[in-house]
Amino acid sequence: MRALRRFTVRAQLPGPLALLQTLATNLRWTWHAPTRELFASLDPQAWSACGQDPVRLLGEIPTSRLDELAADEAIAATVRERADELEAYLAGPRWYQEEAGDDPALPDAVAYFSMEFGVSEVLPNYSGGLGVLAGDHLKAASDLGVPLVAVGLLYRSGYFRQSLSLDGWQLEHYPAIDPQGLPLQLLTTGGDHGGDPLLVEVAMPGDRTLAARVWVARVGRVPLLLLDSDIEENEPDLRGVTDRLYGGDQDHRIQQEILIGVGGVRAVRAFCATTGHPTPEVFHTNEGHAGFLGLERIRELCTGSAVAANGAGPSSSSPVTASGSGLDFDEALAAIRAGTVFTTHTPVPAGIDRFGLDLVRHYLTDRLLPGLPADRLLALGSEENPETFNMAHMGLRLAQRANGVSRLHGQVSRDMFGGMWAGFDRDEVPIGSVTNGVHGHTWEATQVTELLGDPPPDRSAHPPTEVSDADLWALRNTLRSRLVDEVRRRVRAAWLERGASEPELGWTDHVFDSDVLTVGFARRVPTYKRLTLMLRDPDRLRGLLLDPHRPVQLIVAGKSHPADDGGKALIQQIVRFADDAGVRHRIVFLPDYDMSMARYLYWGCDVWLNNPLRPLEACGTSGMKSALNGGLNLSIRDGWWDEFYDGGNGWAIPTADGVEDPTRRDDLEANALYELISTQVAPAFYDRTDGVPTRWVEMVRHTLSTLRPKVQATRMVREYVQDWYVPAARAAADVTGSDYAAARDIAQYRARLNKAWNHVRITGVDASGLPETPVVGSPMTVRAGVDLAGLEPSDVTVEAVVGRVDDTDELAGPITAAMEHRGDDSWEVAVPLPHAGLTGYTVRVLPRHPHLSSSAELAKIVLAG
């Protein structure tokens, strides 16, 4: 008999065990091994049967066993000890409180918005890299004591679970979650003191209202607010707004994005008001999806109120924004931009979130955002195509600070969005970069941490000098063996799911070999990641797998977006190849790549393979997780690997970057991959001295000592704090102080610029005072006449730009020198000639205002000529 509905009843724990509930509901256990060991010790079998989920575990241990445990002094003592540790972790000062300094600009709180969060497999609220990165960001922020409050959506079905049909086609399932069975707490009107569930509301077209309750997950010190529309107050279709991640049509998607953006700000306000949590000074949006948050913050400042929860409507008593009352749109825009950070993750223009302009107009109503002029809102998302609204462009316009996620991706983003800064050189486009990192205690095997200790908090090397080659090699062998066991278990389960019967599956006990060089390739399956590059020459791949002396075994995993049949066909190609009885002991495709599988791969693979089409991998983080465990990367120099590959920590697959013909490019790069494996990777792994591959271990040691500190998420979050959050908080304080005087000033300034800028002209340029034969260092005086069209000389910077030129007269690596105003329309500066050779110069006019982060910020420039 099937149940009609299901729900979860939480366990009643006997007194001495009551604190287990606290330990189970703060997700810190996911990266705290001693707490996990405690849970496992309660009932090892139940622990593994319930997928290492403490909330489920506590529900599944029989009452009799609980009573037994409660009577066990040692258990009770351990429970107390772990709970005390957690308490100390949550309350004590950490890096942010101790070492970040007492800069008055350190924000009291930072809000971090993301469409997905991969904190743990017990909270399946992510699809891949973006979500896992967001989860790691929260954990590292918690470890550092950075006061983050995170905002996302709670999906009824999360992302899909993948299985395979008999012929290797991807099948999708969407198991529904029950929030009551997750480590979540409902935000209530009384905060921590009960009351009714608090509801956040956003207006929908047609006089409708979308309401959401707010679940709070505790990620160590960081509260994660998850909005959930599946409540009786909503009309049936609106209940489905948070049904699944990245599913549905454009309407569904914009509804989700309005909920997370506009509703998310309202949830933060409600959370702060009911719990006393400090108000965020900085808003960080992780990718463009939550960008509507900026519009809600503008609305708060224009109407002078936060929207209270439970439908009370705008309330003028809100302490949050009352002083901003009465700003106009431009003043409010200036005010919120200062404290907003936008991170872009997409190096592919087609990957950017876009909506039809009509759809956006339909949703961004005066009921949703009272008092905000529709044309101004729509202009924020304008792009090349006049019919579409671009969420990334809006992100860049609403944030004074923006970044990509690796050094190379910073460059790619400056190119990709360069059109918004026409007239500027690529390197002047104000988009920086912070290279992603991964959370050490989440992704590193405990054996690694036990052997090496934690890496130093900065990027410096951490050589495991006391550890012998034999010990390092033994560690790698242990991790590989554990992976092989897991592969066998999963291959068997996958075949049962595909319809095979037990008696046919004897062979699965013998797939893989714990002494064979193990290569992992696991990732989502968009085209640019080239899942099937390794199959370019199947015979050659077969040769590598079956080499009698130096065999290779290969694990492949990854999900294709449900709507992407092309991706599913690639998976099918791999599966069909791997199904062949001649190679199936050396290559497997493991279905349902997720965090619980991924960690075995990162621990156990000797080599982590990545062969994207450069430069389409914004960063990539799986290779970093492998490196934490002494895995060696074998990768195209894209994303993070372009920056961190040093010749001794793995291999760079040569890229045929400039080759136009994609087929030929694939051939060249696949060939280089086979060549590297057979001539370098495999020999280094199999050449042994006294049973130890000395060269290999040397590379493992080098990876652990130099790469492990650099790939940490704590390194990333520290950079965000120091280079992004603190400057943003300082800028926000500057523009909001004295009743938003500076915000008003910026708005007036921008209005003046907008009026005059098209008429600003450089009327003449000349350079004099050059000797007959100029030498490096001799001064060149550049003079210019500038018609400011009514602007004040103090409103602008007039710059001389001097650099090398080629036949096209394009200035390369120029230097700039601010010119002095010499009365009337005349400007002048003396520039020492910066280099020998063919030299050119020009003059340009840029906006100048004390509250601009750079002179490129407003994307305005007037060039001579």
Ligand X SMILES: *Cc1c(COP(=O)(O)O)cnc(C)c1O
Q: Please, which residue, 288 or 558, has the CB nearer to ligand X?
A: 558
Footprint on residues 624-643 left by ligand X (CB under 6 A): 625
Least Å distance between CB 625 and ligand X? 6
Of 484-492, 578-586, 592-600, 645-653, which part binds ligand X (CB under 6 A)? 592-600
Binder among 132, 262, 533, 811 for ligand X (CB under 6 A): 132
Residue 786's DSSP bridge partners are 762
Please pick, from the candidates 594, 638, 642, 799, the single residue that binds ligand X as defined by CB under 6 A: 594
3-state secondary structure of 578: helix
Extract the tokens encoding 558: 């990854």
Task: Give the nearer residue to ligand X in terms of CB position, either 257 or 594.
Answer: 594
| Helical ranges in 43-186 per DSSP H | 44-49, 54-60, 63-70, 73-91, 95-98, 129-144
Tokens for 822?
A: 């010499």
Interface with ligand X, residue 255, by CB under 6 A: no
Nearest in space to 594 (alpha carbons), one of 24, 39, 123, 242: 123
Task: Count the Cβ atoms, other than its own, within 10 Å of residue 74.
Answer: 8
List the one residue out of 413, 284, 292 whose CA is nearest residue 344.
Answer: 413
Nearest distance, CB of residue 702 and ligand X, angstroms:
21
Distance between CA atoms of residues 638 and 642, nearest Å? 5
User: Restricting to residues 503-542, which ones interact with ligand X according to CB under 6 A?
Assistant: 523
Stretch that binds ligand X, among 281-289, 420-428, 563-571, 617-625 (CB under 6 A): 617-625
Structure-token pair, residue 311? 């439908």
Rounded CA gap, 642 and 365, in Å?
45
CB 246 within 8 Å of CB 161: no
Q: Which of 304, 620, 631, 650 binds ligand X (CB under 6 A)?
A: 620
Binder among 25, 303, 532, 621 for ligand X (CB under 6 A): 621
598 near ligand X (CB under 6 A) = yes
Q: How far is the CB of 119 from ligand X (least distance, A)?
A: 11
**Degrees, nearest 5: CA angle 314-320-322:** 65
Q: Which of 465, 448, 484 is nearest to 628 (CA)?
A: 448
Rg of the chain in Å (alpha carbons): 29
Q: Does 615 bind ligand X (CB under 6 A)?
A: no
- Rule CB under 6 A: choose which of 54, 107, 124, 129 binds ligand X: 129
Residue 429 to residues 202, 401, 728, 856, Cα–Cα distance (Å): 35, 11, 18, 7
Nearer to ligand X, 383 or 594 (CB): 594
Contact call for residue 595 and ligand X (CB under 6 A): yes
CB nearer to ligand X: pick between 211 and 224: 224
CB closer to ligand X, 124 vs 395: 124
* 736 lies in the binding site for ligand X (CB under 6 A): no
CB atoms within 10 A of CB 87: 12
Element (H, E) at 301: helix 293-303
Q: How far is the CB of 126 from ligand X (least distance, A)?
A: 8
Among 255, 622, 635, 712, binds ligand X (CB under 6 A): 622
Segment near ligand X (CB under 6 A); pick from 333-341, 407-415, 424-432, 619-627? 619-627
Smallest gap from Cβ 638 to ligand X, in A, equals: 10
Q: How far is the CB of 49 from ligand X (least distance, A)?
A: 22
Number of residues that bind ligand X (CB under 6 A): 12
Q: Which 51-90 residues touch ligand X, going by CB under 6 A? A: none
Phi, psi values for residue 494, rounded to 5°: -65, -40
Residues 6+ positions from 748 with CB-CB distance below 8 Å: none
Among the listed ranges 590-598, 688-696, 708-716, 823-831, the one in contact with ligand X (CB under 6 A) is 590-598
Q: Which of 339, 365, 456, 451 is nearest to 851 (CA)?
A: 339
Residue 109: other Cβ atoms inside 10 A: 17
Q: Diameter of the chain by CA atoms?
A: 99
Q: Quickly list H helices, 365-406.
A: 374-380, 391-398
Segment interacting with ligand X (CB under 6 A) among 334-342, 400-408, 589-597, 674-682: 589-597
Q: Which stretch binds ligand X (CB under 6 A): 72-80, 342-350, 620-628, 772-780?
A: 620-628
| Pick 281 or 592: Cβ nearer ligand X | 592
- The residue ranges that bind ligand X (CB under 6 A) are 128-129, 132, 523, 593-595, 598, 620-622, 625
